[in-house]
């Protein structure tokens, strides 16, 4: 969509539930035969946040969006024409969270989409959707909501928490405010839907039953040594490729990136991505050690923290990038950030 009317990523905000949860929560009684405990994929962060019992996707979204309301006013935010939502562990899978988020926030959007794909890179996917809608319809404002609550619900189960995989995720909500005109234009978006890797990430139970069936064992992510090796190889390749493609579309070098904001799966990916792109650590903000892998919420959360900490300056070329699941989606977006207004 190069040459399309400018659409702006005007603001971002984030919310973390509860107090930080330390690593000792997962190390009191580790599963002794967990073959993945020494994998680079599961080197645990120092901290993560968990939703409280009864805390919902909608609760987190409401608290994150409140920060946008505080900065831009309730009337402006509540007049959004577009609401795009991705929830990683929906409270009610049949209908998603979008309509309830709209009700709670007092929105009456013409466009409301619950996005089920694109996982950890779904913020980029939804930014692309928002850009398309705002440049081809009469819509002028969009809200993007990424909510992640799997950490405090799926990964804290009594048996699952003993696995190395469970110390990695954290809960959070990150939101974006996108406008048809504004200070921080979205320059370009590059995405890839990669069907050959679809289905490689699975939710499993030891008794073999599906998630909706009565079970005698707890649900977990079905990681194997072979699958982890494949995901590490794909992730190391996909993010530099899609970011490089984005820069080529803009006739820029990856060295022109002032700030790279990625999803935050683990230290290995973060190090390998910035090295592959030739960027120093100070140009690649990192929230992994403080928040864990917050899945789809990680990109807006990390951008919000980078803006608040002064790592992003007006005029910076900010590139958002990441990949999803076992590699079935990768995306990157370039934004000329001009600060919060």
Q: What is the DSSP string of 190-258?
A: EEEE-GGGTT-S-EE-TT---TTS--SS--EE---HHHHHHHHHHHHHHHHHHHHHHHHHTT--GGG-S
Sorting pLDDT into bands at 50, 70 and 90, what band is 123?
Answer: very high
How many alpha carbons fall within 13 Å on the CB side of residue 74? 4
Q: Residue 334 has what pLDDT?
A: 98
Region at 174 (left for phi over 0; alpha for psi -120 to 50; beta for the rest): beta
Sorting pLDDT into bands at 50, 70 and 90, what band is 27?
Answer: confident
Sorting pLDDT into bands at 50, 70 and 90, what band is 6?
Answer: confident
For 258, residues 6+ apart whose C-beta sits below 8 A from its C-beta are: 283, 312, 313, 316, 317, 318
* Contact assessment for residue 260 and residue 205, using Cβ atoms and an 8 Å cutoff: no
In a domain, 274, yes or no: no
CA angle 222–36–42, rounded 5-degree value: 90
Q: What percent of the chain is predicted at pLDDT more than 70?
A: 98
Q: Among 84, 82, 62, which residue's Cα sits nearest to residue 74?
A: 62
In a domain, 155, yes or no: yes
Q: Residue 33 has what pLDDT?
A: 82
Sorting pLDDT into bands at 50, 70 and 90, what band is 5?
Answer: low
Is the per-residue pLDDT at 230 higher than 90?
yes
In a domain, 215, yes or no: no
In a domain, 297, yes or no: no
In a domain, 292, yes or no: no
**Which range marks the domain in which residue 14 is found?**
8-183
In a domain, 282, yes or no: no
Q: Quick one: how far is CA 238 from the chain centroid?
A: 16
For residue 206, which phi and psi values (nearest 5 degrees)?
Answer: -60, -25
Sorting pLDDT into bands at 50, 70 and 90, what band is 201?
Answer: confident
For 251, residues 6+ apart whose C-beta sits below 8 A from its C-beta are: none
Q: What is the pTM of this model?
A: 0.96
In a domain, 98, yes or no: yes
Instruction: Copy the structure tokens of residue 277.
Output: 């792109």
How many domains is the chain built from? 1
Residue 12 sits in a domain whose CATH number is 3.40.47.10
> pLDDT, tens digit, for every residue of 294-339?
999 999 999 999 999 999 999 999 999 999 999 999 999 999 999 8
With residue 21 as reference, give the H or E element that holds it: strand 21-22
> pLDDT, tens digit, for every residue of 71-89?
999 999 999 999 999 999 9
In a domain, 270, yes or no: no
Q: Would strands 329-336 and 186-193 be described as parallel, antiparallel, or unpaired?
A: antiparallel
For 212, residues 6+ apart whose C-beta sits below 8 A from its C-beta are: none
Buried b (16+ CB within 10 A) or exposed e, 99-108: bbbbeebebe
């Amino acid at each position: 969509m190069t040459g399309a009317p400018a659409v702006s990523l005007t603001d971002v905000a984030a919310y973390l539930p509860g107090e930080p949860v330390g690593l000792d929560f997962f190390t009191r009684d580790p599963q002794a035969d967990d073959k993945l405990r020494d994998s680079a994929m599961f080197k645990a962060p120092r901290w993560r946040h968990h939703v409280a019992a009864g805390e919902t996707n909608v609760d987190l979204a409401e608290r994150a969006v409140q920060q946008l309301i505080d900065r831009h006013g309730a009337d402006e935010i509540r007049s959004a024409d577009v609401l795009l939502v991705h929830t990683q562990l929906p409270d009610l899978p049949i209908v998603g969270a979008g309509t309830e988020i709209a009700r709670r926030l007092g929105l009456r959007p013409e466009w409301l989409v619950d996005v089920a794909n694109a996982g950890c890179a779904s913020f980029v996917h939804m930014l692309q959707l928002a850009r398309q809608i705002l440049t081809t319809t009469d819509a002028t404002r969009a809200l993007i909501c990424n909510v992640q609550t799997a950490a405090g619900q799926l990964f804290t189960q009594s048996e699952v928490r003993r696995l190395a995989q469970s110390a990695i995720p954290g809960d959070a909500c990150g939101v974006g405010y996108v406008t048809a005109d504004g200070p921080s234009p979205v320059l370009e978006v590059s995405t890839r839907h990669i069907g050959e890797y679809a289905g490689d990430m699975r939710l499993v139970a030891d008794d073999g039953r599906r998630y909706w069936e009565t079970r005698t064992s707890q649900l977990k992510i079905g990681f194997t040594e072979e699958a982890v090796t494949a995901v590490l190889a794909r992730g190391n390749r996909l993010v530099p490729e899609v970011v490089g493609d984005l820069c080529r579309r803009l006739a820029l070098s990856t060295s022109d990136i002032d700030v790279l904001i990625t999803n935050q799966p683990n230290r290995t990916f973060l190090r390998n991505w910035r090295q592959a792109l030739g960027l120093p650590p100070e140009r690649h903000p990192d929230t992994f050690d403080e928040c864990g892998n917050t899945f789809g919420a990680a990109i807006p959360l990390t951008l919000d923290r980078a803006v608040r900490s002064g790592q992003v300056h007006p005029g910076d070329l900010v590139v958002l990038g990441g990949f999803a699941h076992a590699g079935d989606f990768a995306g990157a977006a370039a934004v000329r950030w001009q600060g919060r207004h």
